[in-house]
Every structure is written in structure tokens, then in C-alpha cells.
Amino acid sequence: MKKKNYPLYETTKFRDFRVMTEQAATLHGSDTAFSYKKNPNDAEVVKISFDQARNDIRNFGTECIAMGLRDKKCAIIGTGSVGWIYSYFALMSVGAVTVPIDKELPAADMASIIERAGCSAIFYGAEIGGKLDYLKANTKAEIYVCINGEQPTKDGAAADLTAADLIARGDEKFAAGDNSYYDYEIDPDRLASIVFTSGTTGKGKGVMLSQSNICLDMTLGMYNFAITKKTMNLLPPHHTFGSTVNYVGHFSQGCEIYISSGLRYMLKEMQEQKPTHLVLVPLFVETIYRRIWATAEKSGSAEKLKKGIKISNALRKIGIDKRRKLFADVLNTFGGKLEMIICGGAALNQDIIDFFDAIGITILNGYGITECAPLISCNRNKLQYSGSVGIPIISEEVKIKNPDENGEGEICVKGPNVMLGYFDDPEATAAVFDEDGFFRTGDYGRIEEVDGDKWIYITGRLKNLIIFSNGKNVYPEEIETELSRIRGVLEVVVYAGESKKDPGKEVIVAEIYPDFEQLEADGVADIQAYFNEHVRDANARMAPYKKVGLVKIRKTEFVKNTSKKITRFNIDKSID
């Protein structure tokens, strides 16, 4: 029976960051906006209300104006923290241009971005350590603010300002009648943030976003799905999935954001804080999935879990839902209240989505790209289609450019969330917009219409496409999805092998990073032979031209960027 769509959810509307902050305080007042631990092992959790957050952000912004930062470009570097959020929200609210930077980058790369963007100030987390000295010596930035504590000084040098200093000074100015924070008229359509993409194929570009891009991406996106009252932030803030979806989207909706102390504390924090939903990239979801099955197998309850899923699925078909009770032991591992995971940033195997649904956790698989601030589409809380990344956000136009006989082509979008362009790169900007003004995402896929709704299905990335001399096109992601179902595969990348001895040779290679521990427990002695056999079985299920001709086993995991995407350009594709 065809599934039916249902009415949109209610959401909050805001034109800019200052309106968002004020509105959240008005609507949610004394409710907790942010929570965190000063030290990971502390029993005490620091809680900040929406009222306090609004006041702190206003005071922070007031002092930023006094420091002359309006219209200036300001780098923000650090892990997720209240100080990072305050810097981002306040600088946007006073007309500065934010430049979020990945804290994991080498100092020289950070300095390159700072100089390229022309940043006047650097707001940094103390965790960047010695990189700060390099930045001070190799950039023209004149203002430095430590956003989460104090940076140790050397040789009697004056200490940098801190976020607490800015809040205190701004508070004094505001109390004395300085109303500059509210007097400033924000233009939501001008440049507000430059996000340098990490890229998986080489040097990233500077994506220019306005406040309208970011704010409308959330207000128009959240008509399609509803969030719960408490989440836990694990995503890096320099990526738009973290800054837009996890921070802007959740703060504006009145959701408490518990800021995690880091991945190593994730399980412990989930048990303590009991989030009701999470926002994650696929790698984290896959890690949770593997942990569940590893624990079940170690305790001898794997068969019981499989049987429970079969029974539960049968009961649900006749309208009986006992998942929270049947799988209480599994759910309690993650705090017991987890209802939903919003997942995006890369492809997620449908088998994993189905598993979580079977035990009582809904995964809303979505699709986004930095150039679209980032959300383009998402499945709905009570309506998902297998294999789809959902329907577009409200007001988003989506089309398939040059579709083939299967309706597959490049996914192109047009809407208020689409970027202003690439920073200082008009040629690259012109290249990604077609003659009708649609942004060319570089993703290949198709659209299936159901009752007027356009459900998007992604086939793969244009830049990863394998094109053979016989005209056949192979999307590596399709094969990777199939091979990832093989027991013992942790990571797999499919590509066209390169031969120096025979440049014309065409062979599809599957390079696998195995779960060595799992295979050892299964008694697999010859790992190469094991995967050769299972890949042959997978080949039999695929079209002949998609056949994997060579299986390579690697000893270490693939290199990834900080968005946890495999950097394909780092892979040695030689087959000689």
C-alpha cells in the first residue's frame, strides 16, 4: 500500500541571527539552551538558559562592536563549546563575517585560510595549543580572543582577551546605555559567513553564505521534520551540518543541546544525559550499529536479538508496537530515551536504517551540501522511503539535469539556501550554476514523484564516476553499498584501477579495510580468500559491467577529513 504524506510541522521563523536569539529567549526563557561539563569526569553539569544565552550573546556582540569588528572577517577555530556558539551567533548579529576553521588543520593551512579570507580577528579554543603561536607570527590578524578558557602566556606577554572578558565588558556598556547591538540594521542577504570546504578530492573552496541562506535553510527545512527536546552535540562546528543544523536549527526550536566532551566519552554521556535524539554523520551511526552487534555476539544474545526483531516486525504489521520494551536492554545502553537520529553528510546503508527502525530508533536520512547551507532534503518523522534521502525543504526546486534512460542525472537545486558563490573565485562560481540558475550539486541521482512530492535518490558523485571505453558508467557508491553488507567489512572504496604497464586496462577495484577482530573471532584464516569469495557472490547479483575485478586488502583505515568522509584523492589506485 502506498504511504501517504501528512501535514507540515509547526516551526519558528526568523530572518537573522539576532531575531533568532531574541525569539528563542522570549519563547523558552528559563529552559536550558546549552549544557556541558567543565571536565569530562565532573558530576556537575553546567546549564545555560535561553535567557542567559541571549544576554551573553548580546553583551558579547556589544563588545565586538566596540572592538571595531563590524564588517570585519573573523576566524573561529575550536571544538564545539558554548564559547564557539557565542562567537558565531554574536559576530553574525553585529555584521561581522565569520570564517569557521577546522581545528585539526595544520597551523600553516589555518594561516593560509586566515590570510586568504583577510581575517582581522581570531576567536580560538585553548585546545589549538601551539598552533596559536604560528598564527600570531604568520597572519595579519590583530585581535585574538580565547573562547573557552585562557591561553597560557609566554615571556611575560599580555594575556589574550577571553569570551568572559567580552561578555563582562559588553554587559557594562549595555547597562550604561550602549544600544549599538540592537541599533544595527542587519542585511540578511549580504555575505555573513565563509565556509572553507575540506573536500575529498583536493583543495577546498570558500563557500559564501548569507544569514538568509542559513536561517531560511532551517525555518523552511523544519516544516518537514520535528525534533525532540534534548540532543547531544558531537559534530565539528566548522562544518555547516554542525553549525546550521545542530546549533541554529536546535537553538531556534527550543531544544537543549548538551555539548559532548568528545567521542571517547560519547557512550558514558548518552547514558548520563539521556538524549532523545542525535544529529550524526554515518560513521558514528555505523559505529553504534557495530557496537550493538558486537556486544550481542559477545554476550551470546545475537540470535535472541535477531528473533526479537522478526517478532517485533510481525507485530507492527498488525498495529502492535512493543519495540521500547522488547529492546530495552539495547536502548538502555544509549540512555534509554533515544528516539531518533538525524543523519547526513554521506551515504548510509539502508540495512542499518532498517535495523534501527526495528529496535525503536527512527533514522531520518537527509541530503545536504555546504553550498546549500547545507540542508536540501530529508525524510519525515512518520514517512520515509527506502533508499531515499527524502523530499526537498519548502521552496526548494530540484531537477535532474540531462537524465539518462533510467531518469538518472545530475541533481540540481534552486532555492533561498543556495550560496552566494565561491569566495574570490568567480570562474568556479559560474561553473556550478546552469543556464536556469540552478546549482549543480555534482551528485547523480533520480527523482520519484509520489502524490506531488519529489523523493530524491542519490546514485553517486560525479567526480567519483567510473567511465569505461564501452560507454558504460559505474557509480562506485552503488557497489560500495553492496559490498558493505559483507560481514567483516569496516570500510570499502571502489575505484578504477590504474596500470602503468597497461594504461588501457580497465578494472574495477574494491579496496577493503576489514574488521580484523571480527574475522579472527569468526575463525577466518585467509582474509584475502574470504573477501574474494564474498565479492564473487556480490558480483553475481550485479550487472556484468559493474563486476569487481580486483580486491585489495588494507591494513589501516582510510584517511578521512574531519567531516569523517574518506579522502579518495589520497588512495593509491595502482594495480601493478
Q: What is the CATH number of the domain that holds 102?
A: 3.40.50.980
Residue 2: is it exposed, middle or buried by C-beta count within 10 angstroms (0-12/13-18/19+)?
exposed
Task: Answer yes or no: do 352 and 211 share one domain.
Answer: yes
* Distance in angstroms (rounded) separating the CA atoms of residues 234 and 260: 6
Asked if the structure places residue 110 within a domain, the reply is yes
Task: Answer yes or no: do 456 and 510 share one domain.
Answer: no
pLDDT in tens, 411-453: 999 999 999 999 999 999 999 999 999 999 999 999 999 999 9
Count of domains for the chain:
3
Task: Answer yes or no: do 176 and 215 share one domain.
Answer: no
Q: How confident is the model at residue 1 (pLDDT cuts 50, 70, 90)?
A: very low
Task: Answer yes or no: do 436 and 363 share one domain.
Answer: yes
Q: How confident is the model at residue 158 (pLDDT cuts 50, 70, 90)?
A: low
* Distance in angstroms (rounded) separating the CA atoms of residues 67 and 169: 11
Asked if the structure places residue 201 within a domain, the reply is no
Task: Answer yes or no: do 411 and 427 share one domain.
Answer: yes
- Retrieve residue 464's grid coordinates: 567519483
Task: Answer yes or no: do 80 and 167 share one domain.
Answer: yes
Per mean pLDDT, which range of 208-222, 489-503, 558-572 is the poorest?
558-572
Mean pLDDT in residue range 329-356: 93
Instruction: With a cut of 90, say whether residue 462 has pLDDT above it.
Output: no
* 395 or 461, higher pLDDT: 395
**H helices within 35-130, ranges in order?**
50-66, 82-93, 107-117
Instruction: With a cut of 80, say whether residue 469 has pLDDT above it.
Output: no
Instruction: With a cut of 50, say whether residue 44 has pLDDT above it.
Output: yes
Cβ(76)–Cβ(135) under 8 Å?
no
Task: Answer yes or no: do 142 and 180 share one domain.
Answer: yes
Last residue of a domain, one of 130, 151, 186: 186
* Distance in angstroms (rounded) separating the CA atoms of residues 299 and 277: 27
Q: How confident is the model at residue 155 (pLDDT cuts 50, 70, 90)?
A: low
Residue 343 CA to chain centroid, in angstroms? 8
**H helices within 158-249, ranges in order?**
163-175, 180-183, 211-221, 240
Task: Answer yes or no: do 229 and 163 share one domain.
Answer: no
Asked if the structure places residue 12 within a domain, the reply is no
3-state secondary structure of 167: helix
Q: Model-level pTM? A: 0.89
Task: Answer yes or no: do 62 and 148 share one domain.
Answer: yes
Task: Answer yes or no: do 437 and 514 share one domain.
Answer: no
- Retrieve residue 301's grid coordinates: 544474545
What is the CATH number for 520?
Answer: 3.30.300.30
Mean pLDDT in residue range 13-33: 98
Which residues have CB under 8 Å from 65's CB, separation 6+? 94, 180, 181, 184
Residue 354 domain boundaries: 207-291+321-396+407-462
Asked if the structure places residue 161 within a domain, the reply is yes
Cβ(107)–Cβ(136) under 8 Å?
no
Which residues have CB under 8 Å from 223's CB, separation 6+? 8, 9, 11, 393, 394
Task: Answer yes or no: do 342 and 226 share one domain.
Answer: yes
- The mean pLDDT value of the chain amounts to 93
- Retrieve residue 455's grid coordinates: 523523493
What is the CATH number for 335?
Answer: 3.40.50.12780
Q: What is the DSSP letter of 31?
A: S
